[in-house]
Amino acid sequence: MDKIVFFQKLYYRWWKNIDKFILALVILLFLVGLFFSLVSTSLIASDKLNTNDYLFFFKHLIFLCIGAFSIFIFSSMERENLFKTSFIFFSASILLLLLVPLIGVEVKGSKRWIDLYLLPRFQPIELVKPFLIVFLSIILSSRRYTNIYIKYSVSFLVTLSIVFLLVLQPDIGQTLLILFSWLVLIFISGISFVFLISLFIILILLFSYLILFVSKFSYIKSRIFSFFDPDSGTHNFQSDKAIESIVSGGFFGKGIGEGTLKNRVPEAHTDYIISVISEEFGVIAIMLIMVLFLVFIFSILKKVDKEANNTARLILVGSASLILLQAMIHIGVNIRLFPTTGMTLPFLSYGGSSIISVSILSGIILNLTKRKVLFSK
């Protein structure tokens, strides 16, 4: 009898209330990523590392299982428990981010990963991102402080502390993503447009100073100069190969397994997955993936208008913006709209940290878009 009551509660509190359209889009995006991992990118990564052909596919599948569990846990919580749990996880992820300069693993000149006993290598910033959105939204919607500029200042200091830790790694791609997400949140919370533009200009000037006059960021200056003047350096190798793959595939692609340039595209299974997909499945595949993302974002934003709680509204907008901005940066780098920066494509790219991060974010979104159907015995 107790088991029947348990499953009845599960049905009413989760399945009955969950937004099934948004859930279907989340599942579809993850399955698209798993499919491409099976037919294309897993084989490339395994070949380069001389491992079993489908090792990366099975690892991708394991990460998806962990992600599915994360989605269920965060989407099934009561709203107040979600906020409290997010604060705990945010604090823990910040502690891990603080450990990166001390015990982090350096890969290709950047120290962004941590190896802990019995755990796979992961990026702490990926765990920070979903909980940062929740934490900043709570600050900006707090009724404790009536002065909105105090809220902006506190949220800025929190964001700045994370940016500082990212700059030490260095990880400019994630730094820009965090800053733009914060700008979106303070804009939605009611900041004046003039003040927002002033902040944006200050951030641009600060970023320009860092890349022009701080030697640690000279590689970024080289990438930007190479982007505008391809003959000025060798930092266009990755994006050049990505463009070759996209052009080679044409509109409809060469077919599954027929791509050849994908073997020369660096980080094909993570930062350049779009170029690999395009070569075998064509530009039309990129267009369909972009449509999927836009439908997903639009479905979330539709829920914002119906949400009375200001904290939940900010979290939903911030989460949607984070996913959209990251997808735009990834696709933009692949088609040479932006200079080269390491950025995974949410839902589709291989990587345990990235998959679990977007799974937690999806769980939070599903939690805040649930209907309120109460269970009674």
pTM summary value: 0.86
DSSP state of 104: P
CA distance 376 to 149: 44
Q: Please say if the pLDDT value at position 231 is more than 70.
A: no
Residue 51: the pLDDT is: 55
69-96 in b/e form (b: 16+ CB < 10 A) is ebbeebbbbeeeebbebbeebbeebbeb
Which residue in the block uniquely carries the two structure tokens 């506190």? 154
Q: Please say if the pLDDT value at position 79 is more than 70.
A: yes
Q: Please say if the pLDDT value at position 130 is more than 80.
A: yes
Q: Which of 104, 119, 227, 117 is nearest to 171 (CA)?
A: 104
Q: Which of 335, 237, 337, 320 is nearest to 277 (CA)?
A: 335
Q: Which residue ranges make up each domain of the chain?
A: 2-368
Average pLDDT, whole number, for the chain?
Answer: 81
Residue 105: the pLDDT is: 76
**pLDDT tens per residue, range 7-34:** 666 666 788 888 999 999 999 999 998 8
